[in-house]
Structure 1
């Protein structure tokens, strides 16, 4: 299954992470925090993540078609790291650990993009680019919360 080239497998994995993250909602704790002035309205997050997980799933399928074990491993690593953030941040309220997770995620996404380009796989690299930018935004929001709360 690790090297599965079946497209639904990557969508199912992303759906699982999407719904797992959805179990841990911001709630009163988050509402009471001082947040960055550039923090988007809460409604933006599920819309953005729906689009991003679709792109991530397609990128995962493209990575699997390459049969490059390192690229596929990076894809799975970023998905697992991504899955941990909501639980750490919203459920445990571990803001610094959440920031470390996001920095790790940035590294993994960047590595995936670079590795894709090195393998002449432009599509998965391009598909992961909006995700990279979104996680940069998330990192800035998490850092702001860490510094001002």
Structure 2
């Protein structure tokens, strides 16, 4: 019989997919690209508005797959729980960025939080690489997109400050 963390169990994949979907839905709910956002000066290299949702969905799907791979590969229950905690932290920080940037209209605070998010993703990648090369590889696009989001936020702050 294969346990919940076994390769044959669908439970981790279902949970991972549901968590990624919740993060995406919360992020989408908090995101308002209406008049305030449209009035912001943005860098020339800003992706089209439609690209953001698509890229976030792909990045979060890979994030969820990485979470499942890291959890399954963790050699002990304690390491599996620690992995889940790190993934949960990055998910929370993802949602918090949207809240700060769009709902509170504070790109400056979102920039500071984005730096914490970026560091958490790097830490997550390093920790995941210790147990699963697959998980680490799956996290690379997520790290790249978070890096772009932080650079984008930096430019928004630079071009539009002060806030608050």
User: Do both proteins adopt the same fold according to a TM-score greater than 0.5, normalized to the shorter chain?
Assistant: yes
Question: What SS does structure 1 have at the residue aligned with 2:49?
Answer: coil
Q: Distance in 1 between matches of 2:139 and 2:102?
A: 24
Pair 1:89 & 2:101 matched: yes
Pair 1:17 & 2:23 matched: yes
Q: Distance in 2 between matches of 1:136 and 1:47?
A: 17
TM-score when normalising by structure 1: 0.91
The worse-fitting range, judged by mean Cα deviation, of 67-76 and 96-105 is 67-76
Question: What SS does structure 2 have at the residue aligned with 1:43?
Answer: helix
Pair 1:141 & 2:152 matched: yes
Aligned to 1:110: 122
Superposition RMSD on alpha carbons, in Å?
A: 1.5
Pair 1:132 & 2:143 matched: yes
Structure 1 residue 113 displacement after superposition? 1.0
Pair 1:78 & 2:115 matched: no
What stretches of structure 2 of length at least 5 have no aligned partner?
6-10
Aligned to 2:111: 99
Runs of 4+ in 1 over 6 A off after TM superposition: none
Structure 1 residue 102 displacement after superposition? 1.1
Q: Rg larger in 1 or in 2?
A: 2
TM-score when normalising by structure 2: 0.84
Name which of 21, 33, 41 aligns with 1:34: 41
Question: What SS does structure 2 have at the residue aligned with 1:6?
Answer: helix
What stretches of structure 1 of length at least 5 have no aligned partner?
none
Structure 1 residue 63 displacement after superposition? 2.1
Q: Distance in 2 between matches of 1:47 and 1:117?
A: 26
1:6-40, CA deviations, whole angstroms, 9 ceiling, x for partnerless residues?
Answer: 21111111101101111122211010011011111
